[in-house]
């Protein structure tokens, strides 16, 4: 099913002020003839399809006003804007003319179609090396992904990185060279087309807030004359001769990796400069006030598109624009940047959509979600509050937040997840959602951190603290789904009843990721209930980053346990397989969701509905058995009889009371 899009998707002429439209028409009018000549010449010389220029020109006419409007907003004061815009269009046209035919066919089929909101798509994520060794190894594992029901695969960063520390690939030295131990660009292309043949879309990262400190652009600066570094307008990075500006900025910035370094700047002795480094000292933030940086990164982005990416994950999107005296997170200019990038994609690679990685306050998360900006977004609220409800055995904060924070614009969808390769941060809203329930956000986060690092008496969880900040008391939590849900502890204490409870928790969390509107994401390995990997401590490049505990290698040797009844591997993978199947019920076709109160705070209840089709989800978030009276169930189901899609005998006659075993979920429907 490929739903049609609401008007306005993708960035259309709609909503663009008349003045901007006129300026854009004037600018394009001046650039178009030379661009057309260049395009036609390349087409003739390379014997390309004659239609290619016309297709490009039509998309350019449609999307240039938005592109130019956002560039004007970002770079209005620059007298070299038209020079950079001309260069940008050349980059876009070159990319389009080099786009493989297979991908151009995808463009034709998907342009203007919200394919990514197809409710049947189940996403999965992995590191190439940790899951399958290398790219050819991953290609060989496609049948495994097909059996799991995967429809979209996110590969963690796989491009060239500096030796030693590289933040799990998020310090990119070269966006066009695959890390040699993983393979080559040709292997990546081959994998992309093998995935496409299997009906699986590919997601790659666009790490565009920073590059590695050994990227060519940084090396060029080191080789350049010192005076040239002073020219801030031309510098690809944000650098300062002394601490004056860094000190001023640091006062209002959040520290992302406080265990690594205090403040957001690092000193580079080679350049004798303080460099803006939001994350690690080897990740240099790009200077987007320089339009040349936008043009260069556009080239890298479109190269990723031409390698076969269907989804681009916009890494660390919130941090890309800086302004003294502010938090320098999610500033209005960030939205201009992303919208400009998006308009460019609509012109040169329209099959591709953006996934926003903004793990921030819920109001800020939604600010990125728009057909003209990011069409997909992680759902950190659903992720964090699922764990919160497990710790408290109370679903009120989860229900309160979901009840008014799920709706998205047409053409957009959530990526619902249980955990990622990163830490878990407690990103709920303190003022409306928590305070309304009498919860103090600061204390509650402190409790959740103690609970999930196993420091709270009676906690089932075995997670690790990540980036504890003694100054602010902040911390986040690392750990695999299974270890955080209690499986590691239960197995080490040899308590079979506790093992079952832990499995129940894993499936409860995945259950809501599958039941809520959006695309569910499986962290590959979670289907085998994989525990924390404590081995990272022996690797000096990883020992200081506890997130490596939740990035274990795929334990292929444990795959046979899936067929041995009663093992955690069998129970979890069967549970997931059932969720994949049951989600195809027509009730999940539209995002409509109604959250209910069934009179017991340990129960999460909601209805998914499309037209006449409805599924009532009842989920027990505790280790006690709960009975929901028949009257309540009948009222919510609006029907006398029902079946549980997750199994169990159907009711005949009238619906009786519903018994929910510890952590049990029932997905009830009348058909
Ligand atoms: C994102 C990634 C995280 C990385 C950071 C810096 O948040 O998910 O792993 O450390 O960006 O690139
Ligand atoms: C991202 C997130 C932050 C996360 C970090 C990686 O920037 O915003 O919450 O912890 O990357 O660990």
* Averaged pLDDT, 505-533: 98
Whether 479 is in the pocket of ligand 2, judged by its Cβ within 6 Å, is no
Secondary structure of 537-586 in HEC code, one letter for each residue: HHCCCCCCCHHHHHCCCCCHHHHHHHHCCCCHHHHHHHHHHHHHHHCCCH
Structure tokens at 464: 């690790």
DSSP designation for 530 = P
Torsion of CA 617, 618, 619, 625, to 10 degrees: -160
Q: What is the pLDDT of residue 9?
A: 34
Pairing of strands 265-268, 239-240: unpaired
pLDDT digit string (tens) for 129-171?
999 999 999 999 999 999 999 999 999 999 999 999 999 999 9
DSSP designation for 286 = B
Residue nearest to atom 12 of ligand 1 (CA): 170
Q: What is the pLDDT of residue 473?
A: 80
User: What confidence category does residue 11 fall into, taking pLDDT thresholds of 50, 70 and 90?
Assistant: very low
Residue reference for tokens 């992904």: 145
* Averaged pLDDT, 182-194: 98
pLDDT digit string (tens) for 581-591?
999 999 999 99
Nearest by Cα to 607 from 591, 594, 592, 620: 594
Mean of the per-residue pLDDT values of the chain: 94
Q: What is the pLDDT of residue 575?
A: 97
Residue nearest to atom 11 of ligand 2 (CA): 316
Distance 520 CA to ligand 2 centre (A): 20
Nearest by Cα to 209 from 167, 178, 244: 167
What residues are paired with 107 via a beta bridge?
Answer: none
Residue reference for tokens 């990038």: 341
> Lowest-confidence range among 85-99, 141-155, 176-190, 628-642?
628-642
Nearest by Cα to 281 from 158, 159, 166, 168: 166
Has residue 8 got a pLDDT over 60?
no
Q: What is the pLDDT of residue 318?
A: 97
Whether 545 is in the pocket of ligand 2, judged by its Cβ within 6 Å, is no
Percentage of residues of the chain with pLDDT beyond 70: 97
Pick the ligand that lies closest to the CA of residue 421: 1
Whether 476 is in the pocket of ligand 2, judged by its Cβ within 6 Å, is yes
What residues are paired with 284 via a beta bridge?
Answer: 211
Instruction: Ligand 1, residue 420: give the atom nearest the CA.
Output: 8
Instruction: Ligand 1, residue 210: give the atom nearest the CA.
Output: 12
Q: Residue 62 in contact with residue 24, Cβ under 8 Å?
A: no
User: What confidence category does residue 653 fall into, taking pLDDT thresholds of 50, 70 and 90?
Assistant: low
Nearest by Cα to 329 from 368, 382, 294, 274: 368
Distance 308 CA to ligand 2 centre (A): 27
What residues are paired with 202 via a beta bridge?
Answer: 153
**DSSP 3-state assignment of 181?**
coil
Residue reference for tokens 């080191």: 222
Structure tokens at 449: 């951190």
Q: What is the pLDDT of residue 371?
A: 96
Distance 485 CA to ligand 2 centre (A): 22
Has residue 12 got a pLDDT over 60?
no
Has residue 225 got a pLDDT over 90?
no
**Mutation test of ligand 1: which of 316, 358, 546 has the most ligand atoms closer than 8 Å to its C-beta?**
316
Distance 164 CA to ligand 2 centre (A): 21
Beta-strand runs (E) in 95-200: 123-126, 152-155, 159-160, 174-178
Whether 359 is in the pocket of ligand 2, judged by its Cβ within 6 Å, is yes
Residue nearest to atom 8 of ligand 2 (CA): 359
Which secondary structure element, helix H or strand E, spans residue 295, and what is its range? helix 291-306
Distance 376 CA to ligand 1 centre (A): 17
Q: What is the pLDDT of residue 77?
A: 86
**DSSP 3-state assignment of 474?**
strand
Residue nearest to atom 5 of ligand 1 (CA): 316
Residue nearest to atom 7 of ligand 1 (CA): 316
Whether 422 is in the pocket of ligand 2, judged by its Cβ within 6 Å, is yes
Residue nearest to atom 7 of ligand 2 (CA): 316
**Mutation test of ligand 2: which of 423, 474, 551 has the most ligand atoms closer than 8 Å to its C-beta?**
423
Whether 316 is in the pocket of ligand 2, judged by its Cβ within 6 Å, is yes
Residue 20 buriedness (CB in 10 A; 0-12 / 13-18 / 19+): middle
Q: What is the pLDDT of residue 262?
A: 82
- Cβ neighbours of residue 612 closer than 8 Å, sequence gap 6 or more: none
pTM exceeding 0.85? yes
User: What confidence category does residue 230 fall into, taking pLDDT thresholds of 50, 70 and 90?
Assistant: confident
Pick the ligand that lies closest to the CA of residue 209: 1
Distance 205 CA to ligand 2 centre (A): 15
Residue reference for tokens 């969720």: 579
pLDDT digit string (tens) for 61-106?
999 999 999 999 999 889 999 999 999 999 999 999 999 999 999 9
* Averaged pLDDT, 409-434: 97
Catalytically annotated residues:
315, 357
Structure tokens at 318: 């919130």
**DSSP 3-state assignment of 589?**
coil
DSSP string, 1-46: --PBPPTTTTT-STT--HHHHHHHHHHHHHHHHHHHHHHHHHHHHH
Cα Rg of the chain, angstroms = 25
Q: What is the pLDDT of residue 578?
A: 97
Whether 156 is in the pocket of ligand 2, judged by its Cβ within 6 Å, is no
Has residue 7 got a pLDDT over 90?
no
* Averaged pLDDT, 322-339: 94
Q: What is the pLDDT of residue 470?
A: 82
Whether 256 is in the pocket of ligand 2, judged by its Cβ within 6 Å, is yes
Distance 600 CA to ligand 2 centre (A): 34
Q: What is the pLDDT of residue 652?
A: 66
Distance 170 CA to ligand 1 centre (A): 6
Has residue 280 got a pLDDT over 70?
yes
- Cβ neighbours of residue 225 closer than 8 Å, sequence gap 6 or more: none
* Averaged pLDDT, 317-321: 97
Whether 126 is in the pocket of ligand 2, judged by its Cβ within 6 Å, is no
Pocket of ligand 1 (CB under 6 A): 167-168, 170, 207, 279, 315-316, 357, 422
Instruction: Determine the length of the chain.
Output: 671
**CB neighbourhood size of 3 (10 A):** 15
∠ Cα 502 508 510 (to 5°): 110
User: What confidence category does residue 403 fall into, taking pLDDT thresholds of 50, 70 and 90?
Assistant: very high
> Lowest-confidence range among 9-13, 160-164, 318-322, 373-377?
9-13
Nearest by Cα to 606 from 521, 520, 667, 671: 667
């Amino acid at each position: 099913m490929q739903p049609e899009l609401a008007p306005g998707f993708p960035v259309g002429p709609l909503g663009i002020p008349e003045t901007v439209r006129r300026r854009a028409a004037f600018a394009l009018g001046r650039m178009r003839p030379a661009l057309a000549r260049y395009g036609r010449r390349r087409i003739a010389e390379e014997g390309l399809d004659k239609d290619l220029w016309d297709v490009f020109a039509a998309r350019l006419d449609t999307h240039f006003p938005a592109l130019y409007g956002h560039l004007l907003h970002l770079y209005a004061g620059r007298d070299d804007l038209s020079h950079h815009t001309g260069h940008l269009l050349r980059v876009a046209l070159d990319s389009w003319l080099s786009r493989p035919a297979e991908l151009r066919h995808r463009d034709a089929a998907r342009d203007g179609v919200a394919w990514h909101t197809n409710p049947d798509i189940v996403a999965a994520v992995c590191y190439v090396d940790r899951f399958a060794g290398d790219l050819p190894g991953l290609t060989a594992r496609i049948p495994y992904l097909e059996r799991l029901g995967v429809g979209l695969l996110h590969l963690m960063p796989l491009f060239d990185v500096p030796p030693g520390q590289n933040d799990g690939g998020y310090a990119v030295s070269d966006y066009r060279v695959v890390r040699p131990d993983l393979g080559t660009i040709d292997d990546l292309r081959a994998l992309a087309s093998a995935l496409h043949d299997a009906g699986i879309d590919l997601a790659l990262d666009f790490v565009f807030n920073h590059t590695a400190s050994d990227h060519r652009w940084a090396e060029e600066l080191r080789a350049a004359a010192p005076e040239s570094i002073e020219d801030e307008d031309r510098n690809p990075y944000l650098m300062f001769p002394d601490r004056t500006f860094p000190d001023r900025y640091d006062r209002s910035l959040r520290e992302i990796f406080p265990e690594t370094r205090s403040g957001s700047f690092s000193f580079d002795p080679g350049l004798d400069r303080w460099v803006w480094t939001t994350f690690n000292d080897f990740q240099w933030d790009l200077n987007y006030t320089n339009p040349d940086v936008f043009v260069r990164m556009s080239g890298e982005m479109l190269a990723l598109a031409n390698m076969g990416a269907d989804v681009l994950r916009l890494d660390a999107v919130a941090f890309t624009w800086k302004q003294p005296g502010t938090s320098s997170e999610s500033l209005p200019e960030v939205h201009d940047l992303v919208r400009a990038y998006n308009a460019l994609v609509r012109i040169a690679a329209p099959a591709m959509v953006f996934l926003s990685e903004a793990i921030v306050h819920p109001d800020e998360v939604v600010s990125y979600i728009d057909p003209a900006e990011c069409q997909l977004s992680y759902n950190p609220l659903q992720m964090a509050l699922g764990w919160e409800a497990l710790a408290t055995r109370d679903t009120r904060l989860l229900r309160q937040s979901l009840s008014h924070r799920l709706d998205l614009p047409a053409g957009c969808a959530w990526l619902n997840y249980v955990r990622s390769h990163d830490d878990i941060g407690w990103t709920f809203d303190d003022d409306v959602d928590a305070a309304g329930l009498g919860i103090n956000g600061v204390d509650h986060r402190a409790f959740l951190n103690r609970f999930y690092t196993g420091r709270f008496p009676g906690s089932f969880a075995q997670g690790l603290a990540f980036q504890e900040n003694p100054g602010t008391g902040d911390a986040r939590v690392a750990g695999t789904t299974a270890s955080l849900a209690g499986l590691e502890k239960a197995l080490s204490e040899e308590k079979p009843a506790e093992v079952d409870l832990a499995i129940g928790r894993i499936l409860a969390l995945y259950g809501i990721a599958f039941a809520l509107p959006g695309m569910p994401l499986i962290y590959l390995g979670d289907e085998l209930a994989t525990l924390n990997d404590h081995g990272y401590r022996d690797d000096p490049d990883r020992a200081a980053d506890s997130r490596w505990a939740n990035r274990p290698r795929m334990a292929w040797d444990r795959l046979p346990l899936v067929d041995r009844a009663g093992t955690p591997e069998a129970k979890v993978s069967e549970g997931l397989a059932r969720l994949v199947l049951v989600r195809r019920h027509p009730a999940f076709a539209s995002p409509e969701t109604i959250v209910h109160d069934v009179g017991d705070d340990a129960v999460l209840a909601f209805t998914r509905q499309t037209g006449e089709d409805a599924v009532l989800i009842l989920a027990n978030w505790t280790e006690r058995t709960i009975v929901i009276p028949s009257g309540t169930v009948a009222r919510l189901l609006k029907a006398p009889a029902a079946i549980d899609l997750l199994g169990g005998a159907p009711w005949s006659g009238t619906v009786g009371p519903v018994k929910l075993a510890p952590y049990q979920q029932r997905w009830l429907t009348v058909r």
